[in-house]
Amino acid sequence: GQQVMQIPQYQHVQEGEDFTTYCNSSTTLSNIQWYKQRPGGHPVFLIQLVKSGEVKKQKRLTFQFGEAKKNSSLHITATQTTDVGTYFCAGPPDTPLVFGKGTRLSVIA
């Protein structure tokens, strides 16, 4: 079946360092969605990218959708302790969303 792979699985950074997580699909995606789950919480929608090569920013977060619509990235500039959590990408070809396994971010103050 369709798979969405995320790397890395874990990332530990010092506060103020940058962080990037990558999402790769085995098939072309109609869109890519990103979610954040705080420890003990539930996934919360962050953003959706639809167009090939699309780049969107939310404050210190930059999201990119690849030209071939098979990969995406989330980059956080100057991480803060509030960025702690697991970041999931999710993509649909023509089925319900398939979630990646997520990247767990730890921020050391």
Partner 1 sequence: DAGITQSPRHKVTETGTPVTLRCHQTENHRYMYWYRQDPGHGLRLIHYSYGVKDTDKGEVSDGYSVSRSKTEDFLLTLESATSSQTSVYFCAISEGGVTDTQYFGPGTRLTVL
Q: Which residues bind partner 1 (CB under 8 A)?
A: 1, 30-31, 33, 41-45, 48, 88, 90, 92, 94-102
Residues 58, 34 contacting (CB under 8 angstroms): no
Rounded to whole angstroms, the Cα distance separating 43 from 106 reads 17
Host H or E run for residue 46: strand 44-49
When the beta carbons of 48 and 77 are compared against partner 1, the nearer one is: 48
Rounded to whole angstroms, the Cα distance separating 86 from 42 reads 10
When the beta carbons of 1 and 14 are compared against partner 1, the nearer one is: 1
Rounded to the nearest whole angstrom, what is the least distance from the CB of residue 15 to partner 1 in the complex? 25
Rounded to the nearest whole angstrom, what is the least distance from the CB of residue 51 to partner 1 in the complex? 15
Rounded to the nearest whole angstrom, what is the least distance from the CB of residue 54 to partner 1 in the complex? 16
When the beta carbons of 41 and 53 are compared against partner 1, the nearer one is: 41
